[in-house]
Amino acid sequence: MAEISFPLPDLGEGLIDATVLEWLVAVGDQVERNQPLVEVETTKSSLELPSPQAGKVLRIHGEPGDTINVGEDLIVFEVPDDTAGIVGTVPKEAAPKRRVRLSANLDED
């Protein structure tokens, strides 16, 4: 297994930090891509941050009320080795599905 960190992203307009309001996931949770992770407040607004990827939550940084700088670790995921550091998702081998049937008269061959 490998670790992937999600640092606090630049939330726009040159803001340099954000304050944790409430964590929406806990250590040990399996989260999906785009699942809301945490509610944070900046000097402009409060907002929910969606997860950039699927994975198991290994560590979270900052209690409610703590301020985190842009670029510092916010949450660390544990992911299988074959997805670590890769842009994209490696597909799992799925059983082939079909809707089209073939029909032919091959007698003349």
Partner 1 sequence: MENTVVEMSMQKALNRGLDELLTEDPRSMIFGEDVGGLGGVFRITDGLQAKHGSTRVYDTPLAESGILGMSIGLAMAGWHPIPEVQFDGFAYPAINQIVCQLGRMNYRSRGTLPMPVTLRVPSFGGIRAPEMHTESLESLFAHVPGLKVVSPSTPHQAYHLLKKSVLMPDPVMFMEPKSRYWQKGEVDTENPGDLEGSVIAREGRHLTLIAWGAMVARCLQVAELAEEDGISIEVLDLRWLKPIDAAGLAASVSKTKRAVVVHEGPRTAGLGAEVAQLVSESCFGVLKAPVERVTGFDVPYPSGDLEDEYIPNIDRILFGIQRVLEYRRG
Beta pairing partners, 53: none
| Residue written as token pair 């510092």 | 72
Count Cβ atoms within 10 A of the Cβ of residue 8 and give its class: 0-12 exposed, 13-18 middle, 19 or more buried: buried
Nearer to partner 1, 14 or 91 (CB): 91
**Shortest distance in whole angstroms from residue 82 CB to partner 1:** 5
Which residues inside 79-108 make contact with partner 1, applying CB under 8 A? 81-82, 84-91, 93, 96-104, 106
Least distance between partner 1 and beta carbon 53 (Å)? 11
Distance of CA 37 to the CA centre of its chain: 9
The residues of the shown chain that bind partner 1, judged by CB under 8 A, are: 81-82, 84-91, 93, 96-104, 106, 109
